[in-house]
Amino acid sequence: MTSSSRPVPGIDPTRIPRHVACVMDGNGRWAEERGLRRTDGHAAGEEALFDTVEGALDLGLGWLTVYAFSTENWKRPIDEVRFLMNFNERILVGHRDDLAAKGVRIRFLGRRDRRVPRRLVKVMDETTAMTAGNRGMTLNIAFNYGGRAEIVDAVAAMMRSGVSADKVTEAALRRHLYTPDMPDPDLVVRTSGEYRISNFLLWELAYSELVFTDLYWPDFRREHLFDAVREYQARDRRFGGLRDIDRPG
């Protein structure tokens, strides 16, 4: 628990996941079912995102990672891609002061290629810099992110820094990931009834608990995050070992 967290019924404060990652899926279908444009679905996802961030602060989470734009999302119609670029910029500018005041540190993980508009890169860099000293929750925004790309980039970075083949270990590779100090997610939540990882944090998810919900992202609220954490706390994490036999009763 942190100073800003509060007790949540049915959740053991001593076993809060350190890191939760969310795949915010179903914005398009949410909109289409209402006869709206897909971009209206993304816009409706904003409230879901910031209510979830508030819920994460309620719980005292150390890390929350959200998948905002994948390396595969460039394949979407140009108008939707353009909307998402502007939307991300607007969301950051609109919320960063409030998040900074709540002690949130904001970071980005993903590739900085030339397709990402310069204005957005500038806002991302400013946001990282202005929140770098915060010691509350870290909000990681996966943007132009792909799990395979991250592993490829880590291997390239290792080779550039001259790591020899006999020094290539899991620990060495981890040190070259986008955010080496980030603990692996304990829990991943994916909305919209899809049961896939979709190239999200492939290295880091090796032992994460996965929780899926049929809700579309725009309908997701902190209560649903709490439900996912309750489900997480009911699970038995063995990390390939046999720790369950040691449990009392």
Site residues, ligand FPP (CB under 6 A): 24-29, 42, 45, 49, 66, 68, 73, 88, 91-92, 141, 192
The one catalytic residue among 73, 86, 134, 199: 73
Is residue 160 classed exposed, middle or buried when 0-12, 13-18 and 19+ CB atoms within 10 A define those classes?
exposed
Q: How far is the CB of 121 from ligand FPP (least distance, A)?
A: 13
Residue 146: closest CA among 76, 201, 184: 201
Strands annotated E in the chain:
19-23, 63-70, 105-109, 138-145, 187-190, 209-212
CA distance 173 to 240: 21
Name every residue whose Cβ is closer than 8 Å to that of residue 186 and which is 6 or more positions away in sequence. 17, 18, 19, 20, 208, 209, 232, 237
Which one, 64 or 154, has the nearer CB to ligand FPP? 64
Q: How far is the CB of 128 from ligand FPP (least distance, A)?
A: 12
Which one, 66 or 154, has the nearer CB to ligand FPP? 66
Which one, 49 or 228, has the nearer CB to ligand FPP? 49
Name every residue whose Cβ is closer than 8 Å to that of residue 245 and which is 6 or more positions away in sequence. none
Concerning whether 25 is annotated as a catalytic residue, the answer is: yes
How many secondary structure helices (H) and strands (E) does the chain include?
7, 6
Is residue 139 classed exposed, middle or buried when 0-12, 13-18 and 19+ CB atoms within 10 A define those classes?
buried
**Active-site residue list:** 25, 73
